[in-house]
Amino acid sequence: MLTYEPGDSFAHRLDPRAKLGVQVAFAAAAFAYTTPAGLVVLGLLALGCLRAANTSVRASLSALKFAVPFLLLAPVVEAFTFGSPWVVPSDAVGPALASVRVVLVFFVAAAYVRTTPIRESRAAVQRLVPGRIGTLLGVGVSLVFRFLPLVRRDLLRVREAQAARLGTERRLDERLSLVAAGGLRRSFARADALSLALRARCFAWNPTLPELRFGRRDVPALVLAAGLWIAAILPLLGFG
């Protein structure tokens, strides 16, 4: 699973607000230009983001491996019809392009996660969304980034425990129910422990967050974000 890794890449040195701007603008442009030509251009930009974050395509796809079967299966299912001619290849084009779009958006998100500490992500959200709502969103982002890797680790441990007890000999539905039940129990236990830890540390809505400051190095990212937003809006204005 993708997590933050300290480094000195170009993306590591960017302000998290600039990276968030690129990420959101890229997603908007991907939805506006889900065409072969548009996805080629966006694919080059996504690879550039991974390069700037010193993150490999292989590592990003490895983190997406649980979703890849569904992304590959969607065009196949869409191409089949109940009746002659049974297979319509043209019907698979739209879902295939949508699957590619999902992968490209994930690449940009992976570059952000790899290069942005959790505290900086929280600070960026709270700077962009003022007031108590921004604080609530910042806390949510911080907890999600910290909680998901633990949940995934717990599920893997449950699977390993089941395998050690010959759980692989059970039916598939039984294995799924046992892993799901074990994962839920551990998740609720972690949630209770988290609640207790927050109360013990006198959780506050106004913690001291890292200082964020735009610099010259953020100019290319901000220009890219602005360009992507303009490109995404143009079709809505009838210029696409």
Q: pLDDT class for 240, splitting at 50, 70, 90?
A: low
Question: What does the mean pLDDT of the chain come to?
Answer: 82
In this predicted structure, what is the pLDDT of residue 209? 75
Predicted confidence (pLDDT) per residue in 81-103, tens digit: 777 777 878 888 888 999 999 99
Question: What is the rounded CA–CA span in Å between residue 178 and residue 189?
Answer: 17
Residue 141 has pLDDT above 90, yes or no: no
The two three-digit tokens of residue 113, written as one number: 């996660």
Residue position matching structure tokens 């997590």: 3
The two three-digit tokens of residue 63, written as one number: 């983190």
Question: What is the rounded CA–CA span in Å between residue 210 and residue 88?
Answer: 54
- Written as one letter, the residue type at 152 is R
Q: pLDDT class for 105, splitting at 50, 70, 90?
A: very high
Give 140 or 15, the one with higher predicted confidence. Answer: 15
Question: What is the rounded CA–CA span in Å between residue 217 and residue 214?
Answer: 8
Share of the chain above pLDDT 70, in %: 89
- Written as one letter, the residue type at 106 is F
Give 105 or 211, the one with higher predicted confidence. Answer: 105
77 exposure class (CB count in 10 Å sphere: 0-12, 13-18, 19+): exposed
- Of the listed ranges 58-67, 160-169, 220-229, 231-240, the least confidently predicted one is 160-169
DSSP labels, 11-59:
GGGS-HHHHHHHHHHHHHHHHHT-SHHHHHHHHHHHHHHHHHTT--HHH
Residue 4 has pLDDT above 70, yes or no: yes
Find the DSSP H helices in 81-215.
93-115, 118-128, 131-164, 172-200
Predicted confidence (pLDDT) per residue in 20-71, tens digit: 999 999 999 999 998 999 999 999 999 999 999 999 898 888 888 778 888 8
pTM of the model: 0.74
Predicted confidence (pLDDT) per residue in 109-138, tens digit: 999 989 988 888 878 887 877 777 777 777
Give 59 or 148, the one with higher predicted confidence. Answer: 59
Question: What is the rounded CA–CA span in Å between residue 170 and residue 168?
Answer: 5
